[in-house]
C-alpha cells in the first residue's frame, strides 16, 4: 500500500516551453501533497505544499508564477514548469501525505528528471 506515482519519469524540453508533471496517490487519499526538487548529490528542497481544493503554499524563493501547482482531487496533483530554462533542469519529486490511522507519514513518488536544452 501507499504507492505514489509520477509521470513522466523523465522529460527533455526546449528552453521557453512548459512542462507538466503529474503526481498520483494510487491506493490512498492524499489531502496534502508536497513538491520537492533535488540537485545532484544534494538533499531534497521543498518547493511547495499543495492541499486539495485550495491554493498551494510556496516556500520562500520559489516563484509561484513559474511553478504552477494544481491539486484538483484527493489523488492527483500537477506541477507545471512554465517557460522552462536550463537552470530549471533538476529531479522533481512529489510526496503525498496519507491520513491512515491518524498518522502523517509522507510517501514519495519515483521522481521526474527534467532536462531543459
Partner 1 sequence: GENVEQHPSTLSVQEGDSAVIKCTYSDSASNYFPWYKQELGKGPQLIIDIRSNVGEKKDQRIAVTLNKTAKHFSLHITETQPEDSAVYFCAASPSWGKLQFGAGTQVVVTP
**What does the binding site for partner 1 look like in residue numbers (CB under 8 A)?**
4, 6, 34, 42-44, 46, 49, 93, 97, 104-111, 113
Q: Of the two residues 82 and 107, which places its CB atom closer to partner 1 in the complex? A: 107
Residue reference for cell 492541499:
51
Taking the complex as a whole, how short is the minimal distance between the CB of residue 16 and partner 1, in angstroms? 27
C-alpha cell at 19: 512542462
For 86, list phi and psi in degrees, rounded to 5. Answer: -50, -35
Q: Of the two residues 83 and 105, which places its CB atom closer to partner 1 in the complex? A: 105
CA–CA gap between residue 40 and residue 97 (Å, rounded): 25
Taking the complex as a whole, how short is the minimal distance between the CB of residue 44 and partner 1, in angstroms? 5
Answer for the pair 82, 68: CB distance below 8 angstroms, yes or no: yes
C-alpha cell at 22: 503529474
Taking the complex as a whole, how short is the minimal distance between the CB of residue 115 and partner 1, in angstroms? 13
Q: Of the two residues 49 and 82, which places its CB atom closer to partner 1 in the complex? A: 49
Taking the complex as a whole, how short is the minimal distance between the CB of residue 27 and partner 1, in angstroms? 15
Q: Of the two residues 82 and 106, which places its CB atom closer to partner 1 in the complex? A: 106
CA–CA gap between residue 65 and residue 41 (Å, rounded): 27
Element (H, E) at 38: strand 30-38
Amino acid at each position: 500500500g501507499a504507492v505514489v506515482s509520477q509521470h513522466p519519469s523523465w522529460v527533455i524540453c526546449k528552453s521557453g516551453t512548459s512542462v507538466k508533471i503529474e503526481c498520483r496517490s494510487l491506493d490512498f487519499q492524499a489531502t496534502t501533497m508536497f513538491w520537492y526538487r533535488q540537485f545532484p548529490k544534494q538533499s531534497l528542497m521543498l518547493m511547495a505544499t499543495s492541499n486539495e481544493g485550495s491554493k498551494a503554499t510556496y516556500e520562500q524563493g520559489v516563484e509561484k508564477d513559474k511553478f504552477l501547482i494544481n491539486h484538483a482531487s484527493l489523488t492527483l496533483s500537477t506541477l507545471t514548469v512554465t517557460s522552462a530554462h536550463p537552470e530549471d533542469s533538476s529531479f522533481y519529486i512529489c510526496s503525498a501525505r496519507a491520513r491512515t490511522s491518524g498518522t502523517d507519514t509522507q510517501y514519495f513518488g519515483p521522481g521526474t528528471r527534467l532536462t531543459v536544452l
